[in-house]
Structure 1
Amino acid sequence: MSETRAFIMRLKPGNVDEYKRRHDDIWPELAELLRQSGIHDYSIFLDEASLQLFAVLKLRPGHTVAALPEHPVMRRWWDAMAPLMEVEPGNRPKEWPLNRVFHLE
């Protein structure tokens, strides 16, 4: 059974169009890395009024997402995206995890 994770990130003002463009043209090597790490069914939604990004993804059993922060492709992506969004030291996007309070199948 898949594990579902949801979290919020935040864009800096004036970067909505560029953020969308970069995700429309996501690097093939990044998409493959995410898939290989066990991520599937990954979506990011935007609230343009608050610039909050709502991300939800599913993880396959045995996923290896904990290793992603050390992968060079992931690091390059974070460096490229850092000017557009709020980030931690090292350019990892700031994430606010969300807890599920309701689910309907």
Structure 2
Amino acid sequence: MFIIGNLFSAIGVVLRVLINFETAVIIIAAILSWIPQAYSFRIYHVFRDLADVVERPIRKFIPPLGVIDITPLIALLVLLFIDRFLAQSLIDLGWRLR
């Protein structure tokens, strides 16, 4: 059973790393959106495209409120929930199966 336990632990850790990466990307894209000249930089579009992977489905349900876009905040909360629930559950299950 230790092989299955290691598999679940590894999946949980990889999922946590991906969530942390996406969280950082969303924060950087949000900060860059406050800089008026950032739209002309190519790196802004890279971060924006990566952040839109999570934010685009949320924008279908919650449109921007005027000039304020709360989608990054909602996306961060969803990622935090997935990290604490799914990733941590996989890691804990992996440890129990060892």
Give the TM-score band, short-chain normalised: under 0.3
Greater Rg by CA: 2
Q: Normalized per residue, which structure has more helix?
A: 2
| Greater RCO, 1 or 2 (C-alpha within 8 Å, sep 6+) | 2
TM-score, structure 1 as length reference: 0.26
TM-score, structure 2 as length reference: 0.27
Q: Normalized per residue, which structure has more strand?
A: 1
